[in-house]
Every structure is written in C-alpha cells, then in structure tokens.
C-alpha cells in the first residue's frame, strides 16, 4: 500500500445510554493509502456511515484512534476539528448539503470563504470544466438537476485540494444515468487529482470502481476484496460475507 492517509485502529462507538445503549462499531480498523479508492459496504445499521462521520471528526469514538495524515482527528476538539475538516477533508453527502441561497460558484468556494481565504476563480473554472458544469457558475441550486447538484457538491469537496474524499452514498438520491456519471467522475478525479476516496455505498456497480472493497458486518470489517471486480462478483461476495 502507498503511504497511509487514513488509519483507524480499535474503534468502538455506540449510541444511547445504559440499557438503551447500542454498540455500532466494535474494534473496527481500516487503513486507506494515499490516492487509493476504497469502498465500504455493509447492511443498513452496520456502521458504514457512522465510521465516515467519525473519520470526518463529526463524531468522537468511544475508544480507539483515527488519524488523517499525521493528525489524530479523534482527539480534536470541535473548533479544531472544524478547521481541520475544512482544510484537509472533502465530504460528499447523499443529500448534497448545498446552500440554496448561494449560486454554484459560491457553493464551490464556500470552504475558502469560511477559512478566510481569497476565492480562486481559476480553480472554480477548472472544476466546473472537469465536472461538466461549464456555464453554470451563476445558477442557483434550485435550477439544477440532482446529478448537477451532486457534481457541485463534489467540486466543493475538491476545491481546497484535500488529501481524502469521504463520500457517503453519493448516488443514493440519483437516477441510474446520473449515478453512472457520478461514478465515472469519481474514478477520473481520483486518478487526476491524486486524492484518496473512501466511499460508502450499497451499490455493487458503484463499488466496482474501487481498487479495494471492505465488507462490514456487526461493526467490524469481515472481508476485503481487491479490485478490479465486476458488479456481479461484488454482489455475490456481499451476500456471502454480510448476511
């Protein structure tokens, strides 16, 4: 594996308290190399999205350690986590999480504005071109299709050149054609931008883009599959290792 960009060791995480406590992640460990494309698959409730939120320092694990680069993100307080996340991690959510009152260019540049940086118009234009959004810089979010909104969300995630993108079911709200376009774009951007991608997905076709697929069951990774793999092979492995 290339130099490690993300490493999680011995992660335990639960929700609720006392008798209502539910353990979601149980001694979960995972490493992602620089520039690697990894898919995390598992049944609903297995802890996939929980881990992505922990890796993004949106949640703090009960125990264990998560590092991105040389930073222990699981130990950051809220204010330091916010700054680190903005500068080092690109996050793509299923629900897009765009600001309706801003246009496309403003949404893409939002991380820079929040960080007090000058907006790089050339970088915005570069991303618009790469993601097939030419001529849409001044459009409002409500004028975009679902696929276009997700492309804007990806452009925003890439704007500050993060070392890793965390993508949580990025095609879950899209039709098949738009989902296929987003899948192809993530693969191309992973190669071109040289950033690692950790993808949470239920979709075997989406997972087929990854160089490595990790199957999650009962809060821990039970099997890894090295790519490339076809969707049928992934579906078969998913049923075998997670049911």
Fold for domain 4-242?
Rossmann fold (3.40.50)
Q: What is the chain's pLDDT, residue by residue, as a tens digit (243 residues)?
A: 569 999 999 999 999 887 778 899 999 999 999 999 999 999 888 999 999 999 999 999 999 999 999 999 999 999 999 999 999 999 998 888 999 999 999 999 999 999 999 999 999 999 999 899 999 999 999 999 999 999 999 999 999 999 999 999 888 888 888 888 888 888 988 888 889 999 999 889 999 989 999 999 999 999 999 978 899 999 999 999 988
Quick one: angle between helices 146-158 and 121-130, nearest 10?
130
Cα separation, 204 vs 159, in Å, equals 28
What lies within 8 Å, CB to CB, of 96 at 6+ separation is 146, 149, 150, 152, 153, 173
Cα separation, 214 vs 227, in Å, equals 11
Cα separation, 24 vs 59, in Å, equals 13
Per DSSP, 59 falls in state S
What lies within 8 Å, CB to CB, of 100 at 6+ separation is 140, 141, 142
pTM summary value? 0.92
Q: Are strands 63-68 and 37-41 parallel, antiparallel or unpaired?
A: unpaired
Q: Give me the pLDDT at residue 185, please.
A: 86
Q: Give me the pLDDT at residue 181, please.
A: 87
How many CA atoms lie less than 13 Å away from 46 in the CB half-sphere?
22
Cα separation, 42 vs 238, in Å, equals 7
Q: Give me the pLDDT at residue 151, please.
A: 92
Q: Please state the domain extents for the chain.
A: 4-242
Cα separation, 204 vs 229, in Å, equals 9
- Here the tokens at position 147 are 């696929």
Q: Give me the pLDDT at residue 173, please.
A: 83
Peptide bond into 228 cis (omega under 30): yes
Q: Give me the pLDDT at residue 1, please.
A: 55
């Amino acid at each position: 594996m290339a130099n490690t960009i993300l490493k999680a060791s011995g992660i335990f995480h639960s929700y609720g308290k006392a008798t209502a406590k539910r353990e979601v992640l149980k001694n979960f460990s995972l490493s992602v190399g620089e520039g690697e494309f990894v898919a995390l698959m598992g049944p609903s409730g297995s802890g996939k999205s929980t881990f992505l939120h922990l890796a993004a320092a949106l949640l703090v694990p009960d125990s264990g350690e998560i590092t991105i680069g040389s930073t222990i993100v699981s130990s950051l307080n809220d204010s330091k986590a916010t700054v680190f996340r903005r500068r080092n991690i690109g996050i793509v959510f299923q629900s897009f999480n765009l600001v309706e009152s801003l246009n496309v260019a403003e949404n893409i540049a939002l991380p820079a504005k929040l960080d007090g940086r000058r907006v790089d118009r050339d970088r915005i234009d570069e991303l618009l071109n790469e993601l097939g959004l030419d001529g849409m810089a001044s459009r409002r979010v409500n004028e975009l299709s679902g696929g276009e909104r997700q492309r804007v969300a990806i452009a925003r995630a890439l704007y500050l050149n993060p070392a890793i993108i965390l993508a949580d079911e990025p095609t879950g709200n899209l039709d098949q054609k738009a989902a296929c376009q987003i899948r192809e774009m993530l693969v191309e951007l992973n190669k071109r931008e040289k950033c690692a991608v950790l993808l949470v997905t239920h979709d075997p076709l989406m997972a087929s883009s990854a160089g490595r697929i990790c199957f999650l069951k009962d809060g821990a990774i039970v099997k890894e599959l090295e790519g490339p793999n076809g969707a049928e092979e992934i579906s078969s492995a998913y049923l075998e290792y997670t049911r």
